[in-house]
Amino acid sequence: MSGDAYLELVEKFKRLAQLDHAMTFLQWDQLVMMPPAGNDARADSIAELASLHHEMLTADTIGELLQRAGEELADPALQRSLLEMEREWQQ
């Protein structure tokens, strides 16, 4: 059974993945289809999402949740998932 901290981390990392997904398509559109006049607004939007992603990932609560989840989890598969979240957080 997974602990509360792990489940909270999963939700936070889902939100981070959604921001990554949105930035990917904004960047693709900027490079491939966007008229030149839209570049400044698009760059501002991408920068805002990147800033939000960084703030969410580096929040003190992420480190605390990673520690708590590491103490709570017994399932090896969930521990591997937690290690991947911790790797992303450390980078």
3-state secondary structure the chain: CCCHHHHHHHHHHHHHHHHHHHHHHHHHHHHHCCCHHHHHHHHHHHHHHHHHHHHHHHCHHHHHHHHHHHHHCCCHHHHHHHHHHHHHHHC
**Global confidence as pTM:** 0.86
- Predicted confidence (pLDDT) per residue in 22-72, tens digit: 999 999 988 998 888 888 999 999 999 999 999 999 999 999 999 999 999
pLDDT-derived band at 1, boundaries 50, 70, 90? very low
